[in-house]
């Protein structure tokens, strides 16, 4: 659903406007002054009504969400912006607060737009689509109005660009895959994106309509290109990561008897950092240390099944275990029987004395 955007200036109200009215009535009166820009500041309302006024001001133009803060006393904030082609561009600043769009909000206050966020100054901790993102100055991210999210922000200055889903999807159909991720992080296209967002916000009422449309198209094209590049990069990283994962498994199997083999040794053999190695294994749903431990246990189980002449101690050492009691406990937890029981069973099957 694409909402129609009421836009107006709070600072151009008739001087007779009583800002001590309730927040709702103030906003309703503002809607009668409908032009192509808007500006709200909590300094225009009476003491005690600032937080509610700020909350409604932001959600009226962007995605509806609950707003929370540790204290409403002396709360201050400002939001302003304008329409740029099919985009709505705004900047806001305020004291620390939390935006929380719940499942209930999604059902009762549907919104289909995608919003690009540029953190000019301040900080943010974002959650959406099962991802957690810590934002720093200069970072750009996307969030989806059709899904729940949680934003904990200290927004000294944030620029928002609201885009109709159909518009951005017509340029990049998989946009939803990149919500709550840094966009173009460390890429040369990032300054272009942030520059376009700032330029779109800086437009004045005197800017010709055609120029606004061209700028909106330029931003949509630029962010689509950034997403295409990021998507291709992830595909390459996924392939390269899989290759490294397979090489890591080969190293583990080749040195399974090496008690000194650990995550650092595997990473060094692959010429990558421990962190990179952990990230590669995370894509496979595991960790390097867990994989090393499991493959040691799997190898010990095979040896117990195949080599009835060996003793449990010998098998444990051949698989890189140095602590026999720890090995036995771990083996039983995974396979349901102690290694000595498995070995006895195999010897009995072969008619050997224990």
Enter the pTM of the model.
0.64
Residue 306 inside a domain? The answer is yes
Domain boundary (236, 264, 280) is at 236
SS3 of residue 271 by DSSP? coil
Are 104 and 135 contacting, i.e. CB atoms less than 8 angstroms apart?
A: no
Nearest residue to 177 via CA among 240, 107, 232, 100? 232
CATH number for 324: 1.10.10.60
Same domain, 98 and 172: yes
Residue 241 inside a domain? The answer is no
Residue 2 inside a domain? The answer is no
Residue 98 inside a domain? The answer is yes
Nearest residue to 5 via CA among 175, 230, 160? 160
Same domain, 270 and 339: yes
Same domain, 105 and 225: yes
- Sequence-separated (6 or more) residues with CB below 8 Å from residue 210: none
Same domain, 87 and 208: yes
CA distance 229 to 167: 19
Q: 273-279 — which CB contacts under 8 Å span 24+ positions? A: 277/244, 277/248, 279/241
Same domain, 76 and 218: yes
Same domain, 142 and 282: no
Residue 193 inside a domain? The answer is yes
Same domain, 76 and 125: yes
Q: Could you list the pLDDT tens digit for every one of the 354 residues in the chain?
A: 344 443 333 333 333 334 334 444 433 433 333 337 999 999 999 999 999 999 999 999 999 999 999 888 889 999 999 999 999 999 999 999 999 999 999 999 999 999 999 999 999 999 999 999 999 999 999 999 999 999 999 999 999 999 999 999 999 999 999 999 999 999 999 999 999 999 999 999 889 999 999 999 999 999 999 999 988 887 667 778 888 899 999 999 999 999 999 999 999 999 888 888 998 898 888 999 999 999 999 999 999 888 766 889 999 999 999 999 999 999 999 999 999 998 888 777 766 554
Task: Count other Cβ atoms within 10 Å, centred on residue 309.
Answer: 8
- Taking only Cα atoms into account, the Rg of the chain, rounded to an integer number of angstroms, comes to 29
Residue 56 inside a domain? The answer is no
Same domain, 126 and 266: no
**CA quadruple 15, 40, 205, 164: dihedral sign:** negative
Residue 23 inside a domain? The answer is no
SS3 of residue 318 by DSSP? helix
Q: How many helices (H) and strands (E) does the chain have?
A: 12, 9
Same domain, 336 and 221: no
Same domain, 231 and 281: no
Residue 191 inside a domain? The answer is yes
Residue-number span of the structural domain to which 263 is assigned: 255-349
CATH number for 205: 2.60.120.280
Same domain, 82 and 152: yes
Domain boundary (178, 206, 236) is at 236
Count of domains in the chain?
A: 2
- Sequence-separated (6 or more) residues with CB below 8 Å from residue 196: 215, 218, 219, 222
Per-residue confidence (pLDDT) for residue 51, from 0 to 100: 96
Same domain, 96 and 190: yes
Nearest residue to 226 via CA among 167, 256, 269, 182? 182
């Amino acid at each position: 659903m694409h909402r129609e955007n009421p836009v107006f200036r709070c600072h151009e109200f008739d001087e007779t406007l009583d800002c001590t009215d309730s927040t709702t009535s103030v906003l309703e009166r503002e809607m009668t002054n409908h032009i192509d820009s808007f500006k709200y500041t909590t300094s225009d309302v009476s003491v005690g009504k600032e937080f509610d006024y700020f909350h409604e001001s932001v959600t009226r133009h962007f995605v509806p969400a609950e707003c929370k803060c540790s204290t409403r006393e002396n709360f201050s904030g400002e939001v302003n912006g304008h329409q740029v082609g099919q985009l709505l561009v705004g900047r806001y600043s305020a004291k620390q607060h939390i935006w929380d769009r719940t499942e209930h909000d999604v059902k009762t206050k549907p919104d289909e737009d995608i919003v690009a966020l540029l953190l000019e100054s301040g900080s943010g901790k974002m959650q959406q689509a099962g991802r957690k993102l810590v934002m720093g100055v200069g970072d750009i991210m996307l969030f989806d109005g059709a899904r729940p999210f949680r934003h904990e922000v200290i927004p000294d200055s944030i620029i928002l660009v609201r885009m109709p889903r159909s518009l951005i999807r017509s340029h990049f159909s998989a946009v939803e895959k990149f919500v709550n991720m840094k966009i173009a992080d460390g890429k040369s296209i990032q300054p272009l994106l942030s520059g376009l967002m700032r330029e779109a916000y800086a437009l004045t009422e005197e800017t010709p309509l055609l120029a606004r449309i061209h700028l909106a198209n330029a931003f949509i094209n630029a962010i689509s290109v950034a997403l295409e590049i990021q998507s291709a990069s992830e595909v390459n990283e996924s392939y390269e990561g899989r290759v490294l994962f397979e090489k890591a498994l080969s190293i583990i199997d080749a040195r399974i008897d090496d008690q000194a083999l650990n995550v650092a040794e595997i990473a060094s053999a692959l010429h990558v950092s421990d962190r990179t190695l952990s990230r590669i294994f995370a894509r496979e749903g595991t960790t390097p240390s867990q994989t090393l431990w499991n493959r040691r246990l799997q190898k010990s189980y095979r040896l117990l099944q195949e080599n009835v002449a060996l003793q449990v101690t010998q098998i444990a050492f051949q698989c890189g275990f140095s602590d026999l009691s720890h090995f036995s406990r771990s083996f039983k937890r995974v396979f349901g029987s102690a290694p000595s029981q498995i070995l006895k069973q195999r010897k009995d099957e072969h008619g050997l004395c224990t």
